[in-house]
Amino acid sequence: MGKVYYAMFLIGEELGALKEGTSEQHLGVKLSAIKYEQISWLWRKRWEYLHSDMHLAGFVLEPEFQSAEYGQDQNAEVMQGFLNILEKLVPDADDQTKVLQQLAQFRNQEGLFGRPDIQAAMRAMPGWKFWQQWGQQVLELQTVGVTVLSQCSVASACERNWSTYDFIHSKKRNRLTPQRA
């Protein structure tokens, strides 16, 4: 979930590099200013369209993105998105405060989160599994972490489901109404 946000951010960076002609993957390609403007405008528009608080909250909670290079402490947008989701998932005000305190604990690498082996696990494990395994110290935050990060951001399961319909052979397929499926 959090990875989508970061991936979209990387695409933006790559576009910028192409404009300057400094892209490492595509040496020698330099987009003209007009082309860059066109493309990056489309990209921004679609990104705004795709935007959901879930992506932002996912980025905040994804253990992989905690280190300073991802600049979460300066990113007001993602924190706002996280707060919106928090309000939805945890209606109780006291619990909300608890979660925020626990997030601070997590960010300051207090207790368990300061251990080098746990930090290695943060980078290696899928986010929701990490919270499930190592979130005991921060129970309320753990619940939010597992809930947000274990959601999918694609409808591809539905597409796969359609391909099952495709396999059903003609004679039976004619009898297979959606009510019976």
Chain residues in the site for other proteins (CB under 8 A): 4, 7, 10-11, 14-15, 18, 23, 25-26, 29, 31, 35, 38-39, 42-43, 45-46, 49-50, 52-55, 85, 88-89, 91, 128, 146-148, 150-159, 161-162, 165-166, 170, 173-174, 177-179, 181
Return the amino acid letter for 26: H
- By beta-carbon proximity to other proteins, the closer residue of 33 and 158 is 158
- By beta-carbon proximity to other proteins, the closer residue of 32 and 74 is 32
Q: Nearest distance from residue 54's CB to other proteins, in Å? A: 5
Q: Nearest distance from residue 56's CB to other proteins, in Å? A: 10
Q: How far apart are CA 91 and CA 106, in angstroms?
A: 22
- By beta-carbon proximity to other proteins, the closer residue of 138 and 148 is 148
Q: Nearest distance from residue 165's CB to other proteins, in Å? A: 6
Provide CB contacts within 8 A for 119, sequence distance 6+. 109, 113
**CB-count exposure of residue 29 (10 Å: 0-12, 13-18, 19+):** exposed
Q: Nearest distance from residue 84's CB to other proteins, in Å? A: 8
- By beta-carbon proximity to other proteins, the closer residue of 7 and 104 is 7
Q: How far apart are CA 122 and CA 2, in angstroms?
A: 13
